[in-house]
Amino acid sequence: MNLNNHSNNRIVSGMRPTGHLHLGHYHGVLKNWIELQHSYECYFFVADWHALTTHYEAPHGIEQNVWDMLVDWLAAGVSPHAATLFIQSRVPEHAELHLLLSMLTPLGWLERVPTYKDQQEKLREKDLATYGFLGYPLLQSADVLIYRAGGVPVGEDQVAHIEITREIARRFNHLYGREPDFEEKAAAAVKKMGKKNAKLFMSLRRKYLEQGDQEALEVAQALLESQQNISVGDRKRLFGYLEGSGKIILPEPQAMLTRAAKMPGLDGQKMSKSYENTIALRDDPDTVTRKIRTMPTDPARVRRTDPGEPEVCPVWQFHLVYSDEHVRQWVQEGCRSAGIGCLDCKQPVIDAVLRELAPIQERAAEYEQDPDLVRSIAAEGSEQARAAARDTLEEVRKAMGLAYK
């Protein structure tokens, strides 16, 4: 994915601390992160404040959930050498940005986010008519904007939150990106590109602003990106100037949609803790074996001699994730002709899941035995994240008149 070139190749994503992760998280999120961490500058964090928005009455389990989840990330292969791993509340800059953004956030924007009413309905037993819960998407916006990230890998359910993040960034830049002498400063910065490039830049800008020529915009952005003798401040000014806005202080991030998790639960529904249909990454081999052996199958196969239909069987969904063409063929034929029994059919799935989990569990055991290591990874990651967050915050404070020198 080609991210906005002026927002570099940083990505940010967070996960609420739900404790032990399962195969749904692994196939739906973690494998994606593990791939991304080698091509992008990644910030992955545990959203413990977000957990508090819904669990403020009983926060005691959160800490253990944070450590359990971090161990699972590490065990799955999210690497502290490739990505910055941290805990949200250890980077208080998120909170300051959240506060500052709250000043310019219209209440209606938050009330209109679909998850606001949905979750209140769904979690009826909890009183979610709180200030913190209303601010959930704004806190998420701060999580992303504090790193000036270009992309946010998330599932479909989070798209509305990225959308409001973009709107907040736009509003912020609109309000604070126009210094009093913006036009003069931008014109002076253009000159620094040299005569030829300056002329080209201005004509591309005109093409974009007057005719909406998207390609001209992209060429101009690339041109700007390649300039060596303009300062960071001028560069931001010019990216904004190019698009007819002020200085872009907080770039708008893009949602990087993770393809829908293809990992079904043991009962064929989506794998989720609340459906009690999960295989946890740290389930021991006996538990995994038992869970798969007791999975429901095509209800038409009452007796071993009854033929079945893979399409209506949750086990078949597992074969789609784990088995090659050869095994799938064997299942299709064996099931429809009653040539194989359901336990026969499940064995290759059991073997494949155990094979997948073995190295993960081996690493998890190492981290479990060395909790200090996990703590120091989180502490170092949090410090690293703070350094990046402080840079943004400094600019934000300046833009909002809070720089006090």
Residue positions annotated with a catalytic role: 122, 192, 195
Least CB distance from residue 166 to ligand TRP, whole Å? 13
Among 72, 93, 298, 395, binds ligand SF4 (CB under 6 A): 298
Decide: is 143 part of the binding site for ligand TRP (CB under 6 A): yes
Q: What is the DSSP string of 96-125?
A: HHHHHHHTT--HHHHHTSHHHHHHHHHTTT
Query: 4 and 262 in contact (C-beta within 8 Å)?
Result: no
Least CB distance from residue 147 to ligand TRP, whole Å? 10
Among 75, 249, 271, 331, binds ligand SF4 (CB under 6 A): 331
User: What is the DSSP-derived secondary structure letter of residue 288?
Assistant: H
Among 53, 84, 105, 158, binds ligand TRP (CB under 6 A): 158
Among 137, 246, 264, 308, binds ligand SF4 (CB under 6 A): 308
Q: Distance between CA 111 and CA 43 in Å, rounded?
A: 28
Per CB under 6 A, which region of 3-11, 129-137, 335-343, 354-362 contacts ligand SF4? 335-343
Q: Residue 298: which of ligand SF4, ligand TRP, none does it interact with, CB under 5 to 8 A by kind?
A: ligand SF4
Query: 148 and 250 in contact (C-beta within 8 Å)?
Result: yes
Which residues are bridge partners to 111 per DSSP? none
Number of residues that bind ligand SF4 (CB under 6 A): 14
Least CB distance from residue 343 to ligand SF4, whole Å? 8
Q: How far is CA 350 from CA 23, 287, 289, 356, in A?
A: 13, 11, 6, 10
Half-sphere exposure of residue 224: CA atoms within 13 angstroms, side-chain side: 31
Least CB distance from residue 277 to ligand SF4, whole Å? 16
Amino acid at 326: H
Number of residues that bind ligand TRP (CB under 6 A): 14
Give whichever of 198 and 340 is closer to ligand SF4, judged by the CB atom.
340
Cβ atoms within 10 A of the Cβ of 300, count? 11
Which residues from 4-43 bind ligand TRP, rule CB under 6 A?
12-16
